[in-house]
Amino acid sequence: MSDMIRIDDTNCRGFLADDALSAARNRVAEALATLQSRSGPGSDFLGWVDLPVQAREALPPLLETAEEIRAQSDVLVVVGIGGSYLGARAVIEALRPPFGGDDLSILYAGHHIDGGYLSAMLDHLEGRRVSINVISKSGTTTEPAIAFRILRRWMEDRYGKAEAARRIFATTDARKGALRTLADEEGYRSFVIPDDVGGRFSVFTPVGLLPIAAAGVNAAALLDGAIAMRGKCGFRDPHANPAFAYAVLRDALYHSGQSVEVLASFHPQLQYITEWWKQLFGESEGKDGRGLFPAAVTNTTDLHSMGQYIQDGQRMLFETFLFSDIAEVDIALPVSDDDTDGLRYLAGRTLADVNRQAMRGTALAHLSGGVPNALITLSSISPASIGALLYFFETAVALSGYALGVNPFDQPGVEEYKRNMFALLRKPGFEQLHDELTARLGGLS
Ligand code: PA5
């Protein structure tokens, strides 16, 4: 498990004065002390720190349920949004073969409000054996609640109430919320999200682990990777603690005028890892008028679109490259007698090798264009390294948030759209806001 994650900051150094770096180091060291003493804002949401160890011990019954889901289903529909959706999808898409095969297929619902999508899903479910894992910490979030009402009706019509209840698994609060009430009344088997773990930090609770295990991903190895990373995350030394090193770099670049961080992966299977990262960093840091804007690209695909801006647009960004050292499965370019396609010079070379040269070439090109770039190297894309990566990012964002002077564990800014949506939908209790908003709709009416 040694060095599942390495950080190289060579291509940032020219952009950072020594005093900027040492000021950042001091801020992050203070942030680490705050985190360790549990004395900072939001410290009642630090359950994530010890989760991998606790989850490892509590894993056997969850694995049994996952096996049951696998045995009784062709499809598992995972219903949830935000922190109750992205972690599971990130891990599953990173670690399952991209084209599925005969294994249980995992579909996602409740992460947006589009009737065409859900209607097509219901058509697709016909004739297949279906289970549902509905996930909501609050138990009241509108998007998953809408999707679940529709899917529950479909399950009950299809299977009858009793069999539908055997095929529905709820992950929610231990005591409160509409989903808890529903699960208790209907007799759904349920898993609990601890009170002291926020949504975006919940991937190592049943929120992430049940769908991950049901998808056939090795959840024990995932947690072992997170546990190994946790062993490093207490050190105050950037050489011993990659989360500390990353937080220092981000903080120094932010205070040197870079306001956007682009996480640039070179592996399409990591696309949802970057989506999960965007939520983790955006919701944790973006408040009180502060915070790096987290953006993401998948290369080399996006070098043919966003690459232009990164190379040559407004200079306010830095990149963090995410690259896997070893390809578990690879393919080499065939040798050919003719050279009509002009690729003879690559014959026999692997795509991992070509990808590495693309990453290196991009780093140097963007550096010449005035974009600092850091490199996070994963030893491989495996359950253990992905577990380590997720825990690394969780620690880094906690340190970054405290260094920035914000509470990294709340999300007050996600409420306003919800209030407006309720008012426009005429939810009881929002009548006055409905009238105010309707008067302001203008071109949207
Ligand atoms: O990070 C968060 O807290 C949010 O993204 C939530 O996870 C998201 O809003 C879903 O909330 P809930 O699990 O209560 O349905």
What pLDDT digit, counting tens, does each position of 22-60 carry? 999 999 999 999 999 999 999 999 999 999 999 999 999
Cα–Cα dist 54/44, whole Å: 17
Domain boundary among 204, 221, 238: 221
pLDDT in tens, 92-145: 999 998 887 778 999 999 999 999 999 999 999 999 999 999 999 998 899 999
> Of 283, 285, 319, 394, which residue is the catalytic one?
283
Whether the predicted pLDDT of 224 surpasses 80: yes
> Position 114: which residue type?
D
Residue 330 in any domain: the answer is yes
Residue 430 in any domain: the answer is no
283 classed as catalytic: yes
Residue 419 in any domain: the answer is no
Domain boundary among 221, 253, 273: 221
CA 11 to chain centre: 26
Beta strands 5-8; 373-380: pairing state: antiparallel
Phi and psi at 332, nearest 5°, equal -110, 155
Centre of ligand 1 to C-alpha 408, Å, is 15
Whose C-alpha lies nearest to ligand 1, atom 7?
Answer: 83
- Give the tokens for residue 180: 């808890």
Phi and psi at 422, nearest 5°, equal -60, -45
Whose C-alpha lies nearest to ligand 1, atom 15?
Answer: 136
Helical H runs in 320-414? 351-368, 383-404
Residues with CB under 6 A from ligand 1: 81-84, 136-138, 141, 144, 198-200, 283, 411
Centre of ligand 1 to C-alpha 252, Å, is 30
Centre of ligand 1 to C-alpha 82, Å, is 5
Domain match, 27 and 137 both: no
CA 162 to chain centre: 34
Nearest-atom number in ligand 1 for the CA of 207 is 13
Cα–Cα dist 29/441, whole Å: 48
Cα–Cα dist 42/420, whole Å: 26
Whose C-alpha lies nearest to ligand 1, atom 5?
Answer: 82
Residue 439 in any domain: the answer is no
Domain match, 17 and 128 both: no
Helix-strand-coil percent breakdown of the chain, rounded to 5? 55, 15, 30
Q: Could you give the percent of the chain with pLDDT greater than 70?
A: 99
pLDDT in tens, 236-278: 988 999 999 999 999 999 999 999 999 999 999 999 999 999 9
Domain match, 197 and 270 both: no
137 classed as catalytic: no
Contacts of 214 (CB under 8 A, 6+ apart): 66, 69, 70, 76, 104, 106, 131, 133
Cα–Cα dist 428/385, whole Å: 48
Whose C-alpha lies nearest to ligand 1, atom 9?
Answer: 82
Q: How many separate domains does the chain show?
A: 2
186 classed as catalytic: no
Centre of ligand 1 to C-alpha 400, Å, is 21
Q: How confident is the model at residue 156 (pLDDT cuts 50, 70, 90)?
A: very high
Whether the predicted pLDDT of 1 surpasses 70: no
Structural domain containing residue 261: 5-40+223-404
- Contact criterion met (CB below 8 Å) for 425 and 302: no
Residue 69 in any domain: the answer is yes
- Give the tokens for residue 275: 């989506």
Centre of ligand 1 to C-alpha 414, Å, is 10
Q: How confident is the model at residue 2 (pLDDT cuts 50, 70, 90)?
A: low
For tokens 């981000």, name the residue: 250
What is the torsion angle, in degrees rounded to the nearest 10, for the CA atoms of residue 298, residue 303, residue 304 and residue 305? 70
CATH number at residue 319: 3.40.50.10490
pLDDT score recorded for residue 253: 98
Pick from 81, 143, 409, 411 the residue to mutate for probing ligand 1's pocket: most ligand atoms within 8 Å of its CB.
81
Domain match, 85 and 168 both: yes
Name beta bridge partners: 373.
319
Nearest-atom number in ligand 1 for the CA of 82 is 5
Contacts of 101 (CB under 8 A, 6+ apart): none
pLDDT in tens, 316-356: 999 999 999 888 889 999 999 999 999 999 999 999 999 99
pLDDT score recorded for residue 20: 96
CA 315 to chain centre: 27
